[in-house]
Structure 1
Amino acid sequence: MTSGVRRRMGVEERRQQLIGVALDLFSRRSPDEVSIDEIASAAGISRPLVYHYFPGKLSLYEAALRRAADDLAGRFVESAEGPLGARLLRVMARFFDFVEEHGPGFSALMRGGPAVGSSTTNALIDSVRQAAYEQIVAHLRVPEPPARLEIVVRSWISLAESTALLWLDGRRVPRGELQAQLVHDLAALLAVSASYDEETAAVLRRVLADEPADSPFHDLVTRLIGLGA
């Protein structure tokens, strides 16, 4: 038999609870549509108590973004074992898992939201992009990427962002196909850059040498050859 007495949370525990509640609400609807009253109700506390832990919705939104940014950055972490193409497919699957779980919040962050343009928000977005960049470069096994390779990887990360945003707007293309297409996009960008730059060409040759016949990269080559048939 329970007493019905609610356990009192410590300060940090309550802050983390509010961040989790806010992130859940922001993930399902645009942050502009979520009120402090809704957050308080979902957390089971009063509106004034929310303000005791956060000075306003913007600060709570930024805290929720920080947790989401850490989560998203973690989706790009992948073991360095096995062919690169298969690794990237797993990374893209986790990336789109995040996009699906946090659709409205992801869209608001990238397109516009209550904290867009703030130094905190910009720093969080940049930190995710940098984490993704460092992970991809690590998988390419290039400690100090030449300029063209850096451009390729950062351009591909931007492409993944924009592709996810467009996909959220109607989901008119099967998710699995987009995940594979983005892996192909990176291979294609590398190939174009390799035609101009020997350093990038050396990286691409090494990557392809490690890819099995059924890899996404070889699948791209097969598809391209089929276009000319």
Structure 2
Amino acid sequence: MTTGVRRRMGVEERRQQLIGVALDLFSARSPDEVSIDEIAAAAGISRPLVYHYFPGKQSLYEAALRRAADDLAHRFQEPPEGPLGARLLRVMRRYFDFVDEHGPGFSALMRGGPAAGSTTTNAMIDEVRQAAYEQILAHLRVGEPPVRLALVIRSWVSLAESTALQWLDGRRIPRAELELQLVHDFAALCAVSAAYDDEMAAIVARMLADEPVQGPITELLGRLTRLAPPAVPPPR
């Protein structure tokens, strides 16, 4: 039988509860639109008690962002087995899972929110990008990347961010198509770079050697082949 007595939380437990509540609210609406009063009500505590644990909304927003950034960075982790295309596709699905779950918060972070531009926020965003960069290098089994590969990976991570933001603005393209397109974008960026650099050419050759006939990267080659005009036989 329920007694109606509320269990008293410890300091860290209460902090983690507030972070979770704030993250839920920031994920549903722009952080600018969420008040401390709403956070307190959702947590079942008073407004002054929120300030007992966090000095203001920005500090609570940054704590929620820290949890979200750790979650997002973790989604780039993937066991290094199997073809690269399939691994990247799984990464993109998890990435868009996050974007889908935390749309307004993700958009506010990238486009500007209550903590946008702060040193703490910028550092967390950079940590996510660096984690993504290092994970892609691990997928490619490259320790010291050539300059062109580093450029390709960082450009692709930025492309994934901008694509996700555009998708949130109306969701006019099916999500699954964009996930696959981003895998194709990565392969295409690598291929263009390989046309200028022998090291990149060797990396792309390894990528293609591991791709199955039905893999995402092989599918891109098929799509590009269909775009090519039919060969014109030489005149007799």
The equivalent residue for 1:139 is 139
Q: How far 1:3 sits from its partner (Å)?
A: 1.3
Distance, in Å, in 2 between the alignment partners of 1:198 and 1:57 is: 51
Is 2:72 the counterpart of 1:72? yes
The equivalent residue for 1:173 is 173
Q: How does 1:1-229 map to 2 (within 5 A)?
A: 1-229=1-229
| Amino acid across the alignment from 1:227 | L
Question: What do the CA deviations read for 1:15-49 (whole angstroms, capped 9, x no partner)?
Answer: 00000000000000000000000000000000000
**Which has the higher Rg, Structure 1 or Structure 2?**
2
* TM-score (normalised: structure 2): 0.96
Q: How far 1:228 sits from its partner (Å)?
A: 1.4
Question: What do the CA deviations read for 1:91-131 (whole angstroms, capped 9, x no partner)?
Answer: 00000000000000000000000001100000000000000
Aligned residue-pair number = 229
Q: Secondary structure at the match of 2:85?
A: helix
Q: How far 1:2 sits from its partner (Å)?
A: 1.7
Quote the RMSD (CA, aligned, Å).
Answer: 0.5
| Amino acid across the alignment from 2:57 | K
Structure 1: tracts of 5 or more residues without a match: none
Distance, in Å, in 1 between the alignment partners of 2:111 and 2:154 is: 19
Distance, in Å, in 1 between the alignment partners of 2:159 and 2:101 is: 20
| Amino acid across the alignment from 2:161 | E
* TM-score (normalised: structure 1): 0.99
| Amino acid across the alignment from 2:148 | R
Distance, in Å, in 2 between the alignment partners of 1:198 and 1:75 is: 31
Structure 2: tracts of 5 or more residues without a match: 230-236
Distance, in Å, in 2 between the alignment partners of 1:2 and 1:110 is: 44
